[in-house]
């Protein structure tokens, strides 16, 4: 239905073409500056380590880190640690998002349940979940499952609260409009409440990717024999700053990739916004 009617090619005025060019150039400048800044930081870092301005023991240096990452790639340990952590993050994230949305739907469908349970959610949300990590690990097992549950404990309540509040913000009159057509509760959920809340849910997902990483890293600090969190802790314990930095860099790259994937999802789901 959508493709046939892509509005006919529009002819722009020379002024508008000028404007588009200007905006494009501005955008390129921003990106170039971002790269330049990164290069500058790496260069200064390398320089200050080489010239001993700061003891490389404390801050390592980019070339050493790159060498290490290269070595990790060759002996396969990078793939091992990264894939374990990514797996745990994805599990925590996916379960948190699905379970959180389902619970939010249940709360939405029963006003009574929502009223009864809301104060408990607020309290649970305020709990210092990271401090409870060791206990969670005891409950859920000292291994992958414990780590996933730690990640889940951080993201789940936030997901429930944000999604449920998003549901409640849906315009009452829009719901009334559907009721005049005879819509039942399920249809109201499906046709207006969920679609209207998608922007909120995407934002929650963006926050939750970060939350899940925190949970997984904390979990790995506590129990793991592998994973990026383990790598970072191990590096710290044996005073190998290059290992710590390598772990942090790979972690950042993985987070950026996941964030990008959500952005792509956002653009497909919210096409109507452009």
Partner 1 sequence: MENKFVQIKDISKIYHTLDDETEALKNISFDVDRGEILSIVGPSGCGKSTILSIIAGLIKPSSGEVFINNKRIEDMNKNIGYMFQSDHLFPWRTIMENVLIGLEIQKKLDKENVDRVTKLLNTYGLKDFKNHYPSQLSGGMKQRVALIRTLAIEPQLLLLDEPFSALDYQSRLAVSNDISAILKKEKKTAIMVTHDIAEAISMSDRVLVLSKRPAIVKTIYEIELTCSDRKNTPLKRREAPEFRHYFNKIWKELDIHVEE
Asked whether position 174 contacts partner 1 by CB under 8 A, the answer is yes
Question: Is there binding between residue 112 and partner 1 (CB under 8 A)?
Answer: no
139 and 84 in contact (C-beta within 8 Å)?
A: no
Our finding on whether 4 is near partner 1 (CB under 8 A) is yes
Rank residues 124 and 183 by Cβ distance to partner 1 and give the closer one.
183
Cα–Cα distance measured from residue 106 to residue 140, given in angstroms and rounded to the nearest whole number: 25
Rounded Cα–Cα distance for residues 149 and 168 (Å)? 28
Residue 169 lies near partner 1 (rule: CB under 8 A):
no
Helix axes 228-237, 77-109, angle to 10 degrees: 120
Minimum gap (Å) between residue 195 Cβ and partner 1? 5
Mask of contacts with partner 1, 17-56, x by CB under 8 A?
----------------------------------------
- Is 178 an interacting residue with respect to partner 1 (CB under 8 A)? yes
Cβ atoms 255, 216 nearer than 8 A: no
Please report whether residue 268 would count as binding partner 1 according to CB under 8 A. no
Minimum CB separation of residue 110 from partner 1 in Å reads 20
Number of residues that bind partner 1 (CB under 8 A): 24
Q: Is 176 in the site for partner 1 (CB under 8 A)?
A: yes
- For residues 52-72, one letter each, b for 16 or more C-beta atoms within 10 angstroms of the residue's C-beta and e for the rest, the string is eeeebeeebbbebbeebbeeb
128 binds partner 1 (CB under 8 A): no
Contact 248, 68 (CB under 8 A): no
3-state SS assignment for residue 9: coil
Residue 142 neighbours by CB distance under 10 Å: 14
| Closer of 58 and 186 to partner 1 (Cβ) | 186
Contact residues toward partner 1 (CB under 8 A) are 1-2, 4-5, 171, 173-174, 176-183, 187, 191-192, 195-196, 198, 270, 272-273
């Amino acid at each position: 239905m959508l493709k046939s009617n892509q509005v006919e090619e529009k002819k722009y005025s020379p002024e508008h073409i000028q404007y588009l060019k200007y905006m494009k150039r501005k955008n390129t400048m921003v990106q170039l500056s971002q790269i330049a800044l990164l290069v500058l930081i790496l260069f200064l870092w390398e320089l200050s380590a080489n010239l001993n301005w700061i003891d490389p023991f404390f801050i390592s240096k980019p070339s050493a880190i790159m060498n290490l990452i290269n070595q990790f790639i060759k002996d396969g340990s990078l793939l091992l640690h990264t894939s374990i952590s990514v797996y745990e993050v994805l599990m925590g994230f996916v379960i948190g998002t699905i379970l959180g949305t389902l619970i939010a739907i249940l709360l939405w469908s029963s006003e009574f349940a929502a009223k009864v349970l809301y104060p408990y959610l607020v309290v649970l949300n305020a709990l210092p979940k990271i401090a409870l990590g060791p206990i969670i690990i005891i409950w859920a097992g000292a291994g992958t499952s414990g780590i996933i549950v730690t990640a889940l404990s951080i993201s789940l309540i936030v997901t429930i609260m944000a999604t449920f509040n998003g549901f409640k913000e849906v315009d009452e009159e829009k719901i009334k409009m559907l009721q005049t057509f005879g819509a039942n509760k399920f249809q109201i959920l499906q046709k207006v409440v969920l679609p209207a809340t998608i922007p909120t849910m995407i934002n929650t997902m963006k926050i939750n990717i970060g939350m899940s990483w925190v949970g997984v890293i904390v979990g790995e600090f506590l129990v793991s024999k592998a994973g990026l969190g383990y790598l970072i802790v191990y590096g710290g314990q044996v005073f190998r700053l290059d290992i710590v930095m390598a772990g942090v860099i790979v972690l950042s790259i993985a987070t950026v990739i996941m964030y990008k994937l959500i952005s792509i999802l956002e653009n497909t789901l919210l096409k109507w916004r452009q």
